[in-house]
Structure 1
């Protein structure tokens, strides 16, 4: 994986202080999640007896999650290029990339949430329902408050408490 440093765009490539939208995901967001999941799944595998189906399944899950983390990081490299050089509202490939970022992140986060009680778990690792403010506002307008008690989008990052 190659990370490109583009001098005039550091502010676009820096991780967000609070992850609220999938458009805010950056390559740097994946490494801590990947390390956390690798450690938890390694512990799970070690708890299984050598040579058993349970051990194989735990090790296979760890490899699958690691590959998913690498795939997400690679997609985020493409996203960062679009942020700095492209038009993020362009239909087609860019929008599929944008949607896949959220899907990939949310799948990994769902796995991490299984270990939410662990001291190394970060509250930052939560599902990201919307790609951006405009997407949240569009859905809220289209569906209205009745669908989720009016919390489709809130300016407060802690609106889910």
Structure 2
């Protein structure tokens, strides 16, 4: 009889202590910036007179960000399922999902960055450039390290 080791799902789905790669994103990562932005945008909206374009814009942005957060959360629930049941290296839908997560996350944290001086803003909310360590290594080997000022590529090296 063959015994298969099943990874501890709770540990696998726990948010990373340090958020370094988009593959580390979990559904639980979305709620804090979502709540933070709802509070900040709510403050801006309430500071605008009723019926003004500025009030409408602030409220509309708050609703849009909230909807984007729900969509990101849904995508991360699907990602969590792939982590525990699927193969994250397979082509097709899984890779489409894997590629969309950092874009959606980065858009969310770029909006939160507008309020970076607020005491409730967390350093955890930052742009994620790579999906995993292997992706980071591939990109840096292919394009050169960003710190080289892209000199390797400008000089035809």
TM-score when normalising by structure 2: 0.89
Instruction: Give unpaired runs (5+ residues) of structure 2.
Output: 1-5, 150-157
Match for residue 147 of structure 2? Answer: 149
Matched, 1:131 2:116: no
SS, match of residue 88 in structure 1:
coil
Computing the radius of gyration from Cα coordinates, the structure with the larger value is 2
CA distance in 1, matches of 2:112, 2:61: 13
Matched, 1:79 2:79: yes
Pairing of 1:85-124 with structure 2 (within 5 A): 85-124=85-124
Match for residue 62 of structure 2? Answer: 62
Please state how far the C-alpha of 1:8 moved relative to its aligned partner.
Answer: 3.1
CA distance in 2, matches of 1:135, 1:150: 18
Instruction: Give unpaired runs (5+ residues) of structure 1.
Output: 1-5, 152-161
Question: How large is the Cα RMSD of the aligned pairs?
Answer: 1.5
Please state how far the C-alpha of 1:80 moved relative to its aligned partner.
Answer: 0.1
Please state how far the C-alpha of 1:150 moved relative to its aligned partner.
Answer: 5.1
Deviates more, 1:136-145 or 1:78-87: 136-145
SS, match of residue 126 in structure 1:
coil
CA distance in 2, matches of 1:123, 1:26: 17
TM-score when normalising by structure 1: 0.86
Please state how far the C-alpha of 1:7 moved relative to its aligned partner.
Answer: 8.4
